[in-house]
Structures are given as C-alpha cells and as structure tokens.
Homo-oligomer: A and B are copies of this chain.
Amino acid sequence: MSRSETTRDRLLHHARTLLWTHGYSNVSLRQIAAAAGVDVALIARYFGSKRGLFEATLDGAFDLPPVTSETALVDMVVALFTTSPCGETAPTVLQLLLMNAHDEQVGGAVRAAHHTGMQSRLDRLLGDPRRAALFMAAVLGMSVAEKSLRLPGIGPHDTHDYAAQLRHMLGAALSFAR
C-alpha cells in the first residue's frame, strides 16, 4: 500500500467516526485532520472538498453480506443496526442514516447510499417494496427509540432478544401489509 493510501485511509476512518457521530456541520475539516494526524490541506488534495470526503465515507456503508435467505438478510440488517460495525467508539449506521433529516444535499447522498446498498436488496429478497419498507420502519423505530431517543422503556437488549422481537414485529407488520 502506497504512502498516500494509508493517510487517505486514516482520513477516511476519522472522517467517518467524527462526521457520523457529531453530524456534518458540527465537525470541521481541521478536527478531522487533527484526529488523523495530518494537515488540513491534504483533505482537499485527496477528496476535493468536505462534501467529497463525506461522500467517500458513504462507500459501502450500507453493504450487507451476500446472503440469499430471507431471514438471514433480515438478521443482517438487524445486526448492522444493533451493533457497532468496527470497535467500541465506532459510529453506528443509524447515526449516518439520521444525517439525512436536516440537510438536503447530505440527505440526498445518504438516502441514495442506503437505497442502493440496503433497501434495494430488501426489496428484491422480500419481494415487495411495501413489505421491505415496513420492515425497515420497524428496525428504524426500535433503533431510534433505543439508541437516539434513549427511551428508558427499551433496552439495553442483548442482540438476540432484540432480533427476535424485530422478527416477531416483522411478522406482525407483514401480516397487515397485505
């Protein structure tokens, strides 16, 4: 790996961590560069602009392992929203997804990444965009209520329990979706 690639990866890693957890406009390029231990100007060199860096951050963010079973895919989605993908202080996919709420440009990129990386596969495997959307809504609701809103009535669930409940909820949602 060339020298430039390692610093590029370092920038990408810390950009993901900081931007996803604290939001696009709450983190400056100087903070990211400082966390990565490199100069600010290198961001412009490697990613062009702040938006370019953020969009590079979206690469493969919603990718799922290549499973073919319906329940396996569902479990993968639940797992992706339940656990931090890499490490303890790592940002969650949920926080990335919620970045779309208040910024039209950032939101468009996030929605596009989610659709091509995750939702389209759900559509295909669950057979119906409506079923997939309702399942996504169930996962989102649980995640937002627990992780973002921190409702005392929910969690901390262990992953198994959580997935089981969501699968149950999925069954209910799909039953009235027909």
> With A26-B25, A98-B102, A102-B22 given, is the CB distance from A152 to B139 under 8 Å?
no
Minimum CB distance partner of A138 in chain B = B141
Residues of A contacting B: mostly: helix
Binds B, one of A5-13, A47-55, A71-79, A123-131: A123-131
Alpha-carbon gap, A97 to B94, bound state (A): 14
Identical copies in the complex? 2
Minimum CB distance partner of A94 in chain B = B101
> With A152-B129, A172-B169, A173-B169 given, is the CB distance from A23 to B136 under 8 Å?
no
| A interface residues, Cβ below 8 angstroms from B | 21-23, 25-26, 94-95, 97-103, 111, 114, 119, 123, 128-134, 136-142, 144-146, 148-154, 165, 168-169, 172-173, 175-176
